[in-house]
Structure 1
Amino acid sequence: MEVSELKAWCAGHPGAKFDYQKDWNAERYLVGGKMFAMFGHDKSGTPILSVKCEPHRADMLREEYEDIKPGYYMNKTHWNSLALNGSLPDAIFKECITHSYELVFKGLTKKLQNEVTGQ
């Protein structure tokens, strides 16, 4: 899947906002001011997408897919980094982005959730 398609998928979630973290040289997507996806590179220069993930699910994905690693420069329990130049199926990227968005959204206050959904 093309990176531009993944970014469009991120941006398509309700209330998603884009920003650029200059210090990390990374493009981020946030909801309610909290990050749910980050496009960057690991120490070897491999392009990666880092997403939040429920810990048990994160472990299962890492075991199943060689191109999914503990979050690079993130909390290794709650974040995964997916290689963008690997062999992951398109559906995995979309599922992981949506799962991350939902986890972050659920962690927002009810007030912020209502602002995001327009209620």
Structure 2
Amino acid sequence: MDQSTFLSYCMDKPGAEQSLRQEWQANQVKVGEVMFAMTHEMDGKPVISLKSSPEMAASLRAEYRSIVPCGLLNKNHWNTLFLDGDIPDSQIYYLADASWQLAVETLPDTLRQELNI
């Protein structure tokens, strides 16, 4: 998977909006004002960062060599995934869906209704 394919997948989610975070040289994807995904580079390699529960974050790091704590965000909740690593695309899609769902759950009911989610 590449970052472009990943961003396209994220942008197909209801309410998704993309913005550039200049100081990190990162594309952020948010629903409402809550970020659920980010693409950037780490050690010169393309990566994505996704949010999860602390338990899932730790489990994923133990399972995949190419998943590490996110250096830019809360390391308990955010993982960085190297796209040239050992993670199947299906797992990346699943993790993106789960991250989006976590973000949606924090939105006020009125915004979720407005976004029809």
Please confirm whether the aligned pair reaches a TM-score higher than 0.5, indicating the same fold.
yes
Which residue number corresponds to residue 16 of structure 1?
16
Which residue number corresponds to residue 95 of structure 2?
96
Which residue number corresponds to residue 72 of structure 2?
73
* 1:30 alignment partner, SS class: strand
- Give me the whole-angstrom Cα distance separating, in 1, the residues matched to 2:26 and 2:80: 13
- Give me the whole-angstrom Cα distance separating, in 1, the residues matched to 2:12 and 2:47: 20
* Matched letter for residue 38 of structure 1: M
Q: 1:31 and 2:21 equivalent?
A: no
- Give me the whole-angstrom Cα distance separating, in 1, the residues matched to 2:13 and 2:74: 23
Q: 1:46 and 2:54 equivalent?
A: no
Structure 2: give runs of 5+ residues left out of the alignment. Answer: none
**Aligned-pair identity (%):** 35
TM-score of the pair, normalised by structure 1: 0.92
- Tell whether the 8 Å contact from 2:52 to 2:102 is kept in structure 1 after alignment: yes
After TM superposition, the runs of 4+ consecutive aligned structure 1 residues lying more than 2 A away are none
Shift of 1:72: 2.1
Shift of 1:2: 2.7
* 1:85 alignment partner, SS class: coil
- Tell whether the 8 Å contact from 2:3 to 2:46 is kept in structure 1 after alignment: no
* Matched letter for residue 30 of structure 1: K
- Tell whether the 8 Å contact from 1:50 to 1:72 is kept in structure 2 after alignment: no
Which residue number corresponds to residue 4 of structure 1?
4
Structure 1: give runs of 5+ residues left out of the alignment. Answer: none
- Give me the whole-angstrom Cα distance separating, in 2, the residues matched to 1:61 and 1:4: 23
- Tell whether the 8 Å contact from 1:14 to 1:116 is kept in structure 2 after alignment: yes
- Give me the whole-angstrom Cα distance separating, in 2, the residues matched to 1:114 and 1:13: 15
Shift of 1:20: 0.9
